[in-house]
Amino acid sequence: MAVLDIAKIGHPVLLRRAEPVGDPTTGDIRRLVADMRETLEEARGLGLAAPQVRESLRILLARPVGKRETARQVPPLVLVDPVVEPLGEEMEMGLEGCLSIPSLRGLVPRYRRVRYRAVDEQGEAVEGEAEGLFARILQHEIDHLDGILFLMRMPDLRYLSVEEQLERFLAEVVAPESRK
Ligand code: NI
């Protein structure tokens, strides 16, 4: 196993539509998934998509979590050839970052609830429903499989901040707006 280097914004692989995997039980795919797990742990991320490690394949890892605080203790789900669909029309704004976009955080609208279908590493069908943070992570990661970065989902680029300034951004930019 190995920690893989993460492609950063500007790398063309992040803008490409990734290819379906088909059979996830081959040696190459098993190795890739093992390396993605290790890379996600090392980076302390909430999710990771194969294009972020320069493999243009429809594989994503997502931690099925409700709260950011405990998120990194929850092992990720591995979804191969996933489909993610909204459940209902309700959307909410929430803060996102991306391992491929160092230091930036931005407010992104996402569906509050989604349904997902995929196969797992053993090739078995998996499906489930997600809401809140987990639904957000799934939508963020599946976007990576379609060449979409969270910045491209932001309706208003004023709601973008560097991490070092996050507290001030939330208190002085986001909070006053949400009271309007
Ligand atoms: Ni990302």
pTM of the full structure: 0.95
pLDDT at 35: 98
Q: Is 75 left (phi over 0), alpha (psi -120 to 50) or beta?
A: beta
- Taking a 5 Å cut-off on Cβ, the residues next to ion ligand 1 are 98
Give the model's confidence band at 126: pLDDT under 50 very low, under 70 low, under 90 confident, else very high. very high
Span 138-168, pLDDT tens digits? 999 999 999 999 999 999 999 999 999 999 9
Structural domains of the chain in order of their starting residue, each with its CATH number: 12-178 (3.90.45.10)
Q: Minimal CA–CA distance to 108: which of 177, 170, 154, 158?
A: 154
**pLDDT average, residue stretch 71-97:** 94
Residues facing residue 57 across a β-bridge? 19
d(C-alpha 76, C-alpha 168), whole Å: 31
Give the model's confidence band at 112: pLDDT under 50 very low, under 70 low, under 90 confident, else very high. very high
**pLDDT average, residue stretch 113-130:** 96
Tell me the CA–centroid distance for residue 44 and ligand 1, in Å.
12
The percentage of the chain sitting over the pLDDT mark of 70, rounded to a whole number, equals 97
Tell me the CA–centroid distance for residue 143 and ligand 1, in Å.
8
Give the model's confidence band at 71: pLDDT under 50 very low, under 70 low, under 90 confident, else very high. low
Of these residues, 69, 127, 131, 141, which one is catalytic? 141
d(C-alpha 112, C-alpha 133), whole Å: 8
Span 28-67, pLDDT tens digits? 999 999 999 999 999 999 999 999 999 999 999 999 987 6
**pLDDT average, residue stretch 62-77:** 82
d(C-alpha 133, C-alpha 120), whole Å: 21
Q: Minimal CA–CA distance to 48: which of 32, 37, 56?
A: 37
Q: Minimal CA–CA distance to 76: which of 26, 9, 25, 130?
A: 130
132 token code pair: 């809140």
State yes or no: is 92 an active-site residue.
no
